[in-house]
Amino acid sequence: MKKMTIGEIAKATHAKILTLDDLQTVKELEITTISQDSRTVDATTLFLAIIGERLDGHDFIPQCYEKKVAACLCEKEVPLQSGSVILLVENVRKAMLALAKYYRDQFQIPFVGITGSVGKTTTKDMVSSVLAQKYNVLATAGNYNNDLGVPLTLFRLEEEHELAIIEMGMNHFGEIHALAEVVQPDIGLISNVGVAHIEFLGSREGIMEAKCEMFDHMTEDGVAILNVDNDMLATLDGKLPQKIRWFGVDDHKDIYADDLEIVGMEATKCKIHTEKGTVEVMVPMPGVHMVSNALSATAVALELGLSLEEIKKGIETFVPTKNRMNVIHLESGLTILNDVYNANPVSVKASLDILQTAEHRKIAILGFMGELGEYAPEMHKDVGAYAAKVGIDVLFFIGNHGECVKEGALEGGLSNVYLYANQEEFWKEGIEQIEDTDTILVKGSRSMALEKTVDKLQGVD
């Protein structure tokens, strides 16, 4: 990150500086790193005393003192010692957002904001792969997309960066609004509006309203990139102050794809049509939803001046983040579709669509889907019915609402359904039913940690 003085940081965060040393000298001290991990701090670090669900960062300030940390951003008064500096604020997370906005405003480069109910991180990674063909890009690492992750991402900006891609997540109203106020995106991409977090937002209309908070902090000459195939987003036509660029597979509007061809379990071939011409690409992941991601990246890239050749190269060299539809071929002949990072009804169905293209026996190992509230029983039943509809041969389900999944599957004609309370039960009783020629999809909510089952399938204890 670019250097900031403690005086600058205090002014941006409205912090009170507490120190036993000369105040003016302290204000001139320079910060070059920001961290919430006491193990990584040094004499140039601002330590963030975050209060989390399990740990309180204030408890680690003595360790920071031992490492001669430059300063600690706190919301509790803590003991001072010679050479220590405390920046006292009312709320560390809100202070971080204020500081991140101050830091972001020092960069006159394009900012791309990305959100959506399903596949935000994969969309962000695809956009990043494409834009990196022309620009030096800073992109959100992993899924650092909340009020902690977004500031930490912005603090990674350096002078050499020419463009920033910031993923923004939420599960309550107001969260995207707060993040967008910091990011101030020039281009805002919404990949889709599904049912993720419906427990907190009440309806798909509520989810779309929350996603659209991103546009509150875009200027009217900004650009909204929207999925025209999504029934909710399609209703925004003519309703935003920003220019809208549409992308889709089913609806041929602005940027669209046709001639889709699934190439084994590894890729999807298609033609992408734009106002600048048509290009044939091989998307290096299976599924129509991955073509949609390629189209969204194309739409963003065209707004930022990339050629079709650069777009094609960026799509075809895309590498997915770990645990997001990674295809694993074992020497035994077993194929694993590792898509365990997270799950909701829309993403599970998309993954089942990919599984159905397998040549041999199709096995789905699915886990509980969280944050569905009162809709959970109905939506789990619907997933079971969909597994039957697309021709899955065996369905193993782990966790809550298994009976609902089984009911939907049985009604759809899928009788090979097995339920387990936890992964350990599946390892003892279900895993022995796997055959070497099977193709297996493993997918569930993040809280399920089904990567442990992926390890078991690979023989890792």
Q: Do residues 214 and 184 touch, judged by C-beta distance below 8 A?
A: no
435 and 414 in one domain? yes
**Cα 435 to Cα 242: distance, rounded to the nearest angstrom:** 53
- The residue from 279, 294, 316 where one domain ends is 316
Q: For position 450, which CATH number holds?
A: 3.90.190.20
406 and 359 in one domain? yes
158 and 46 in one domain? no
Q: What integer pLDDT is reported at residue 356 of this predicted model?
A: 92
**Domain count for the chain:** 3
Q: What integer pLDDT is reported at residue 440 of this predicted model?
A: 96
Q: For position 158, which CATH number holds?
A: 3.40.1190.10
Q: What integer pLDDT is reported at residue 18 of this predicted model?
A: 96
Q: Which domain holds residue 63?
A: 4-91
Q: What integer pLDDT is reported at residue 460 of this predicted model?
A: 76
Residue 101 lies in a domain: no
39, burial (CB in 10 Å: exposed 0-12, middle 13-18, buried 19+): exposed
118 and 79 in one domain? no
Q: What integer pLDDT is reported at residue 459 of this predicted model?
A: 85
Instruction: Classify each residue of 197-214 as buried b or exposed e, where b means 16 or more C-beta atoms within 10 Å of its C-beta.
Output: bbebbeebeebbbbbbbb
254 and 379 in one domain? no
- The residue from 256, 286, 316 where one domain ends is 316
**Residue 87's beta-bridge partner residues?**
17, 73
Render each residue's pLDDT in the chain as its tens digit; 461 residues: 999 999 999 999 999 999 999 999 999 999 999 999 999 999 999 999 999 989 999 999 999 999 999 999 999 999 999 999 999 999 999 999 999 999 999 999 999 999 998 788 889 999 999 999 999 999 998 779 999 999 999 999 999 999 999 999 988 899 999 999 999 999 999 999 987 767 777 888 998 999 999 999 999 899 999 999 999 999 999 999 999 999 999 988 999 999 999 887 889 999 999 999 999 999 998 888 899 999 999 999 999 999 999 999 999 999 877 778 888 999 999 999 999 988 989 889 989 999 998 989 999 999 999 888 899 999 999 999 999 999 999 999 999 999 999 999 999 999 999 999 999 999 999 999 999 999 999 999 989 999 999 999 998 76
Other beta carbons less than 10 A from residue 429's beta carbon: 12
Structure tokens at 304: 């930022």
Please tell me the chain's helix, strand, coil percentages from 3-state DSSP, rounded to the nearest 5: 35, 25, 40
Q: For position 39, which CATH number holds?
A: 3.40.1390.10
281 and 190 in one domain? yes
Residue 419 lies in a domain: yes
376 and 252 in one domain? no
- In this structure, what DSSP letter does residue 51 have? B
282 and 338 in one domain? no
Residue 99 lies in a domain: no
195, burial (CB in 10 Å: exposed 0-12, middle 13-18, buried 19+): buried
The angle that helices 288-303 and 120-131 make with each other, rounded to 10 degrees, is: 50
Residue 357 lies in a domain: yes
